[in-house]
Structure 1
């Protein structure tokens, strides 16, 4: 390259740098004069400097004058609700009058208090009256089991109840039906046999247990069947009939099984097949079926 061409290239490079510097200075002056531009998300760039208006707004905010929040344009049209004035519409159902709600709450509270009082009254035993109070039928003490007295009408203390279990023990409904041959209708009648309800220990979903006093159950059963001997005789008769029914059912199933087995084609074919009965012939070194003549060679050791 000649010296003249090198001088022109250097001159053009200096002119280009001057033009780029001038353009940058013009953009900087325009940026400082105009408010900061927004990016695609509607936010100011990170290198934007707060202007005079932003400083004035901050000063007003410090003085206590809160500026209203501008809605975000990206959300489109929406309604601004005042949550302090909104009413619960119960999911679209009819809204009850607050006065009615307060009245119902008061009635429910009163009922709850009455239930609590009734429960508390049943939890405490009445006072002991030495002159007119009930006494134990066994030892004549005034410290009786009030639950027994209220449910069964029997006055007995705790110690006598434990020592005389043949009279004061409790029986379940199943035991009354199996041992004393009583029916459901008789056990459900509280006038004939009063019962005590207790929670079933086998599970919360089971029905409550019906507990009966052994003394009252025996008295009613003996009156129904005539005597203890008649009750034992009826019990033996029912047990014998139960065994006979079970035996008849077993024999019926056995006969049905035999008939099915006898008429089975496979069993019929197996019965029709010939079974060899061999006889050993040592002289000839074989064994022979005498019925069909089938022979099998045998190696003698």
Structure 2
């Protein structure tokens, strides 16, 4: 039975013990009330699940009293006054924030990270038998791998005099997704408003639609920037390279010069594709005809027997003679003894 100070109910009801008496019980962590009538225990009170009333140990009184255990509540609370920060306090807060960002960048730079976000690699250690009953695990080229591992660092925070100006809305902004990923001065708000204008396309689509080669995307100055994402068709395949369509179109104009030249090159490729398709079709038809002819003609695979004609004298002084096969023209030269 909990003490009076440990009771957690909102109201405390005390009634007469002779007619109606509530009993506080604990059963498997549950609390329930029962009432007694004429000294006998009856069924569980149906109000207990809602009223949450308990009794206090001791001699109950016949008077019904209510004791409130909750602190008084102000019916009309007044909101706390808003404190205005001075210019000096705001400047101090900004300095502390910039210092925290610089410390975070320095801490991340000291820790080696992977060059691609989300990329994982597993190294298998080399096991060496020591000959003394245990094995030695040695990682191959562990130090060289740490030296060659590329550390990706986020750019330092931009202060207000160095803010970029958006190409669409011409408003200054500190940071954006397109400026970090593709070096394009467009704020995030304009990117969301004109999402079709700043569309991303895959490397394969850029090569097929704009007739670009790998050297145009990777080696021709300036090389196009891209982001890596997991392949949506199969996560076990290689990462997918996504380029900004605006930058791909600009690179296409640098390579082909104009849209007319691009259309002519595209038409020439289509014609060449049709020619190659017709050549493949003719080759298949030729192979089919050859197969049909070979099935109608039976090749003689029996051994050839020469049938020689009359004997001819080649050199009477040397007694040389020859015979010629009637079917194949083979000549047999021999000497008579």
TM-score by length of 2: 0.40
Query: Which protein has the bigger helix share?
Result: 1
Q: Which has the higher strand share?
A: 2
Select the structure of larger CA radius of gyration.
1
Q: TM-score, normalised by structure 1?
A: 0.44
The higher relative CO (CA closer than 8 Å, separation ≥ 6) is in: 2
